[in-house]
């Protein structure tokens, strides 16, 4: 996936050691970051203890996760403690790229802690790191997905995606949602129950380019893997809303909207009919876009989407021509 790693065989010992060393060194290099306070002795001691326990011989990754969860369970909220919590979440994200560690993290109560305390905490840095960790843990691990769904993760994450004021939080919430609904029937059912498609559409109407692109990409994926929901989306006016997004200044985001529309109209006449509504002026838009992109190599995929939509939606069939006569 676009966010978060997939390789469960990463060299964790080197990654973790480097991360901890960097964190400790960063706290002593105040001259390179004058806007931050030097690392407190308490924070340095915690990181040093984590490193000592991690790298004295064979790495005990479960022990490291327990130490991180202990830090995250601490209720204090001063600046040094917040920094330590950020480091703990970063360390857990690295560890939980490993599928076994992701499962162990849930068994240790980590998913419950993230969803009950951190995804809605006041600090945006902790919110986005928590949403990111939920996504990392949930990738391709059914036990973790089931645990997260049982704890109401989809509803909580959709609220973050829809309402959070921080774009990075919204992007990471979308990543976690994707990990819980793609190829996961129970997760998709909850997504539909919580009106997830409407939330996706509102995300595509945001000002954050990365969020818009990733929302359109998820919509396209769901249309391909679950065409049975196309009727529901048509009844929501999704075709009209997608076309309206194209009636704006051209941007790379449009490629993903056109890709979603291609998936929508494929083998689905109702969506084709809606694309033909004269008020949308969709045929003219597609023709103008083809002219705009014809000789621009970097937009060839978008151009192919435009040509496909013209052919599917507006090229007259023999039956159409006979009716004209």
**pLDDT, position 132:** 98
pLDDT recorded at residue 295:
85
Task: Please provide residue 108's backbone torsions phi and psi, each rounded to the nearest 5 degrees.
Answer: -85, 0
Place of tokens 């980590």: 110
What percent of the chain has pLDDT above 70? 79
Quick one: the chain helix, strand, coil %, rounded to 5? Answer: 75, 0, 25
Dmax over CA atoms of the chain, in Å, equals 86
Q: What domains, with CATH codes, occur in the chain? A: 83-194 (1.25.10.10)
Whether 3 has a pLDDT exceeding 60, the answer reads no
Please say if the pLDDT value at position 88 is more than 90.
yes
Contact criterion met (CB below 8 Å) for 294 and 250: no
Q: Which residues contact 53 (CB under 8 A, 6 or more apart)?
A: 60, 63, 64, 67
Q: What is the pLDDT of residue 93?
A: 96
Judge whether 262 and 222 are in contact, CB under 8 Å. Answer: no
Over residues 55-79, mean pLDDT: 80
> Within 10 Å of residue 281's Cβ, how many Cβ atoms?
12
DSSP of 247-316: SSS--THHHHHHHHHHHHHTT-HHHHHHHT-GGG-HHHHHHHHHHHHTT-GGGHHHHHHHHHHHHHHHSP
pLDDT digits (tens, 9 = 90+) for 269-313: 999 999 999 999 999 999 999 999 998 999 999 999 999 999 999
Confidence of residue 54 (pLDDT cuts 50, 70, 90): low
Q: What's the pLDDT band for 7 if we cut at 50, 70, 90? A: very low
Task: Indicate whether 71 pLDDT > 90.
Answer: yes
Q: How far apart are CA 173 and CA 160, in angstroms?
A: 6
Give the global pTM.
Answer: 0.80
Q: Name the least confident of 46-55, 147-156, 217-226.
A: 46-55
Q: CA 102, 191, 277 angle in degrees (round to 5)? A: 140
- Return the structure tokens found at 63: 């022990």
Tell me the CA distances in angstroms from 175 to 195, 218, 261, one per residue in order. Answer: 17, 9, 22
Residue 59: per-residue pLDDT: 64
State the Cα–Cα distance between residues 37 and 84, nearest whole angstrom: 13
Choose among 165, 194, 169, 171: nearest CA to 181: 194
Q: Is the pLDDT of residue 319 over 70?
A: no
């Amino acid at each position: 996936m676009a966010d978060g790693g997939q390789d469960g065989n990463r060299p964790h010992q080197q990654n973790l050691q480097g991360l901890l060393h960097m964190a400790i060194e960063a706290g002593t290099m105040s001259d390179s970051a004058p806007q931050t306070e030097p690392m407190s002795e308490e924070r340095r001691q915690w990181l040093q203890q984590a490193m000592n326990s991690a790298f004295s011989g064979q790495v005990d990754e479960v022990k490291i996760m327990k130490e991180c969860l202990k830090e995250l369970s601490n209720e204090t909220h001063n600046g040094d403690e917040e920094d330590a919590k950020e480091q703990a979440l970063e360390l857990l994200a690295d560890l939980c790229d490993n599928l076994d560690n992701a499962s162990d993290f849930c068994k240790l109560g980590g998913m419950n802690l993230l969803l009950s305390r951190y995804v809605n905490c006041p600090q945006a840095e902790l919110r986005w790191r928590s949403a990111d960790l939920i996504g990392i843990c949930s990738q391709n691990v059914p036990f973790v997905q089931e645990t997260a769904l049982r704890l109401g993760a989809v509803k909580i994450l959709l609220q973050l995606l829809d309402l959070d004021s921080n774009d990075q939080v919204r992007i990471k919430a979308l990543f976690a949602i994707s990990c819980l609904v793609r190829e996961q029937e129970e997760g998709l059912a909850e997504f539909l129950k919580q009106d997830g498609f409407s939330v996706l559409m509102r995300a595509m109407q945001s000002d954050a380019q990365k969020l818009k692109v990733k929302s359109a990409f998820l919509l396209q994926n769901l249309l391909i893997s679950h065409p049975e929901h196309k009727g529901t989306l048509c009844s929501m006016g999704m075709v009209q809303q997608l076309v309206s997004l194209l009636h704006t200044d051209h941007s790379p985001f449009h490629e993903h909207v056109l890709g979603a529309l291609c998936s929508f109209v494929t083998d689905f006449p109702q969506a084709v009919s809606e694309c033909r509504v004269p008020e949308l002026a969709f045929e003219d838009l597609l023709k103008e876009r083809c002219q705009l992109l014809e000789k621009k190599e970097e937009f060839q995929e978008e151009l192919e989407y435009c040509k496909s939509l013209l052919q599917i939606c507006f090229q007259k069939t023999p039956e159409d021509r006979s009716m004209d006569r």
